A and B are shown apart, each in its own frame.
Chain A
Amino acid sequence: MCGSSVAERRRIAVTGVGTVTPIGTGREQFWRSLLAGRCGAGPVESFDTSNFQVHRGAEVKDFRASDYVFELDPGCLGRASQFAIAAARLALEDASLDPIAFDTQQAGVICGTTSGEPQVIEQFDDQYVGGGLDRIGPEFIKQYPCHVIAANVASELGFAGEVNTIPAACAAGNYAIAHAFDLLRSGRANVMLAGGADSFSRITFTGFARLGAIAPDVCRPFDRRRKGMIPGEGAGMLVLEPLDRAMRRGARIYCEVAGYGLSCDAHHMTAAHPEGSGAARAMEAALRQSGVTPDDVDYISAHGTGTPTNDRLETIAVKRVFREAAYRTPISSIKSMLGHTMGAASAIEAVVCALAIFYDHIPPTINLQESDPDCDLDYVPNCAREHRVAVAMNNAYAFGGNNSSLILAAAPTRLQVTVH
């Protein structure tokens, strides 16, 4: 089968990033907020939480779809699609990549998500419950299924190649980036937009609240008093293209995608394996493919949801893989600031890794005041830190036991990595 030998081990660069988050939209605003340790948690505004025992979320404020959606009708798009398009446009602009300048049949979109377009189905359910099924029209099938998110981005931007959605829940962003990476390496594409998007959702909020996983105040990853996560929303998109093409066109190169690892716990639908073995396997696979050792990793972007269990198990998994190096490797969770943006989370965190490498600056884990003996690593508490970052690892774990680890590395002038 031809294609797999094409540029067999093409190196893949990140040349643009775009984000829509509860603490800022667009690279500059977002990065500034991150380094300043801004917290995006607040009272939930998009629906009435008076019947719940928790009331806090991290919603994106002041988002106007019409600022980013020009070809499609924003009114026909769900919120997750609007976020995805905005992040994609911002990433393309950031990459100085004009769709006129490249073959759009070789350009694709892979988007991760947890819920798809939940507000569409919530509306359907409201009508169902209210006896108004006759009001349901053709929009349900056209706007709800999760594949529309990647499709909407592709239609808006005119990308006609590989277009699909990877709904791998809270690890979806990493899975999408991994898939785009493979498509580029095998020659099935020359430009990929990869990332994730999710909108705030009554369904998601209800579910996590029912599991007792939502914090009453803020998200405090790794803190002894942590009580859970803060549900959020947003989107993160990266422009990926072959390194040689990026260099030829004089693109700014944030970093390379060095490799990834995926694993499946096959253990429990909502809880991680108690020994963190699945997470460890994903990290080991990523390190192997990237040709880097734990000592080479300068920063880990943690899954760090702020639940008592995740943070403890994640720490165990990191120690399993990194051993002594675990204590020397800064690891922070931006969910302390953004909340858990679900399918967007690991994509936004990948953006953060790219920026950390580019700027040699690590964002903090905020709200961390009391240390937990089970979580005794360097979580970059409360203050961002200037730190040389040549290699960053991005970890994300999802319902269904889907684990992922993505490794980004500084562009060639700064580091020689052997990509297998």
Chain B
Amino acid sequence: MSSLGDSAPRLHRAMCEGKSGLHPLEGFDVERPRCSLGGNLVSFSAESYLKKKNLRPLDRTGQLVAVATQLALEDSGWTTEELGKQDVGLVLGTFFGSVHTISEFDRHAVLAGPSYASPMDFANTVINAAAGQAAIWHGLRGVNSTISAGSTSGLLALGYAVDLIRNGRGTAILAGGADEFCFESFLGFERAGFLCGSDGGTGEFPIPFDRRRNGFALAEAGGLLMLEDADSAVARGAYVRGEIKGYGSAYDCARGRHSERAVEAIERAMRLALVNAELTPGEIDCLSASANGSVLGDRREALAIAHVFDAQSDCVPVTAIKSMIGEALGASGALQALDLLETMRDGVLPGIPLLEQMEDGLRPVVVGPKPRQVDVRTALINSVGFDGNCCSLVLGRFLM
């Protein structure tokens, strides 16, 4: 569920057409804002998907996850009947859970007095609330967990779920991530200087790798993939879109304060993913970067890519979909995966619209503003946080 569509094909088509899910923000009034762009879902109506009258128990993050769950179940061909017979799990990555619900609950209690605090909102102040709500709404009785590793949460959730399936904890697990766009997170990122824009008013450039870039644009989304043990999936006649071949994660103890160490951690996550997938860099056909317009982040990731791919970095096309979808925090890794699965199917890798000139000295072959034809058998996805977490995951074609 994203600002560019509620299905992987729609999202992918929009991005291949260079459409942007970012727009001028309305109703998020922050004093002296440097950033006026965001990727929030302006007309999101959970009712139209969930078809139940009463959505009061769900907060926005809960709605995003419940809707993404519904869409993923439908897309993967799981019926209500099958759900009754087999336990499907859910592993959700999230940056905040719902900071808006937590903050609202607290503010209301402070202003009106604690005896008028909302019990329903309290249930949603725990960070695993959305995963719990989705389980209730859709009858998911399999293993249910929530994981937080900053903006790498969604990609890491995919890896966590793969390991759970391999360990026999379940044969079918929905995995991915969600984060809502809210005043609290917008203000937080704004004040930390991460959002695109400048004090001089020179414009907002959330354009990955571009020399004019000056920060990212915050977005919201929910993205889930149905992961299944391959034999079970084939046995039930599922349409298999791809395979997760491996993942790796690493942590930068300096939390982004030293360039070399930041680059090293990103590089290490990528190498661990490749080793885990038993692949060499030369076998990777394309890369979906985490780059989102951050001045430091994009540069460091580019350096790490160049180190890993070395001689091949002139050949591996690199895209960065946050150019269009914005920084959806916990959901971003899942959206990158969903998009790459489409690329594996139709051979088109989205471009980076508005990319006019790459920063000097960045080596990877970034696709450029236009989409590119690529035959993809295996692809690497990066997810890099601003404060130390790094994760990479390898997707591949599914071969029987």
Contact = CB atoms under 8 A, between A and B. Distances in A.
Interface string A185-207: 11000000000000000110011
Contact of A124 (B138, B163, B184): B184
B127 A146 contact: yes
A187 to B, nearest CB: 10
A136 B187 contact: yes
Interface in A220-272: 262-270
A279 to B, nearest CB: 13
A137 B128 contact: no
Contact of A270 (B31, B123, B150): B123
A369 interface: no
Contacts, number: 246
Contacts of A179: 145, 160
A167 B144 contact: no
Interface string B240-253: 00000110011111
Contacts of A208: 122
Interface in A365-379: none
B89 interface: yes
Interface in A16-71: 51-53
A175 B89 CA distance: 15
A144 B188 contact: yes
B141 A182 contact: no
Contacts of A151: 150, 251, 255, 387-389
A209 B127 CA distance: 19
A140 interface: yes
Interface stretch (B39-47, B106-114, B368-376): B106-114
Interface stretch (A156-164, A292-300, A315-323, A348-356): A156-164
A210 interface: yes
Nearest to A162: B249
Contacts of B106: 121-122, 125, 202-203, 206
B119 A211 contact: yes
B188 A398 contact: no
Given A133-B31, A210-B122, A264 B191 contact: no
A96 interface: no
A415 B297 CA distance: 51
Contact of B103 (A128, A154, A209): A128
Contacts of A398: 126, 128
A167 B149 contact: no
A164 B148 contact: yes
Contact of A182 (B90, B138, B163): B163
A398 B110 CA distance: 26
Contacts of B110: 125-126, 129
B129 interface: yes
B166 interface: yes
Interface stretch (A82-90, A324-332, A382-390, A399-407): A399-407
Contacts of B122: 206-208, 210-211, 270
A309 interface: no
Contact of A268 (B89, B129, B136, B150): B136
Q: For chain B, what secondary structure do more than half of its interface residues adopt (helix, strand, loop), or is it mixed?
A: mixed
A122 B168 CA distance: 41
Nearest to B255: A155
Nearest to A165: B148
A116 interface: yes
Contacts of B90: 264
Contact of A1 (B119, B140, B268, B278): B278
Given A202-B106, A269-B132, A161 B251 contact: yes
Contacts of B321: none
A146 B150 CA distance: 8
A183 B109 CA distance: 41
Nearest to B123: A269
A408 interface: no
Contacts of B111: 129
A126 B150 CA distance: 25
A339 to B, nearest CB: 18
A105 B148 contact: no
Contacts of A52: 114-115
B389 A262 contact: no
Interface string B65-105: 00000000000000000000000011000011101001101
Given A105-B268, A160-B253, A269-B57, A138 B192 contact: yes
B276 A3 contact: yes
A122 B276 CA distance: 42
A168 interface: yes
Interface in B149-164: 149-150, 153, 156, 160, 163-164
B145 A210 contact: no
Contact of A401 (B144, B156, B184, B253): B144
B31 A134 contact: yes
29 contacts: A105-B268, A113-B127, A115-B125, A115-B126, A121-B106, A125-B107, A147-B148, A147-B150, A147-B153, A148-B387, A163-B251, A164-B149, A166-B145, A175-B145, A186-B163, A206-B122, A209-B114, A209-B117, A210-B114, A211-B119, A262-B144, A263-B143, A264-B90, A264-B132, A264-B135, A264-B141, A264-B144, A269-B124, A399-B128
CB-CB nearest 3 A-B residue pairs: A400-B132, A207-B122, A167-B127
Given A151-B389, A262-B143, A400-B133, 8 more contacts: A140-B187, A147-B153, A151-B255, A161-B251, A162-B251, A179-B145, A206-B106, A264-B90
Interface of B: 30-31, 57, 89-90, 95-97, 99, 102-103, 105-107, 109-111, 113-115, 117-119, 122-129, 131-133, 135-136, 138-150, 153, 156, 160, 163-164, 166-167, 169, 184, 187-189, 191-194, 245-246, 249-255, 265, 268, 275-278, 385, 387-389
